[in-house]
Copies of this chain bind each other. A is one copy, B any other.
């Protein structure tokens, strides 16, 4: 057994440290030295294992997006569930994930700004979303005359309502408008409310 096999640590530690720092500060504001320090590992090893700061970032970004969508895909491609059931499922899964990683939305949005280069990973998954059975169901909703607006609005509202609290989180906490526990309570409350609101909106 070579050292490479025993030692899951170094490479994995670096990735984990990079994930933490990139998420907290964004790509541009993060230095390779930050990552090395966070991992308590020699600076040169970042380039040794990942060749460059950019490659490391791309790797983490790809993995994160991947993890994100592979949870959603089975839900939105399920042809046996109703719109309402899908919404409940998506909201629940998404919010659970965000409760565990509260600054993840800021991370993504931050990279939307600067990283036009790194977009393909996301656009591909975005298309995957737009081609889903869920979107077809929403389209049918319009055909049936139940809604009189572009179905993409429903998706926008859903994701918007899911992620907004997490975008506003630093503002809400630092301003003292909410405490950590109140924030958590509101998010928990929204888990049930968002699907309710969405059905009201779509007249279901």
CA separation between A28 and B189, bound complex, in Å? 36
Say whether A153 contacts B190, CB under 8 Å: yes
Q: Mark A140-177, 1 if CB is under 8 A from B, else 0.
A: 00000000011011001101110111011011101111
Residue of B nearest to A201 (CB): B197
CA separation between A190 and B116, bound complex, in Å? 27
Give the number of copies in the complex. Answer: 2
**Interface size in chain A (residues, C-beta < 8 A):** 51
The 10 closest A-B pairs by CB, nearest first: A160-B164, A123-B175, A28-B29, A28-B28, A160-B160, A106-B113, A126-B175, A29-B114, A109-B109, A110-B113
A positions within 8 Å CB-CB of B: 24-29, 103, 106-107, 109-110, 112-114, 116, 119, 122-124, 126-127, 130, 149-150, 152-153, 156-157, 159-161, 163-165, 167-168, 170-172, 174-178, 186, 189-190, 193, 197, 200-201
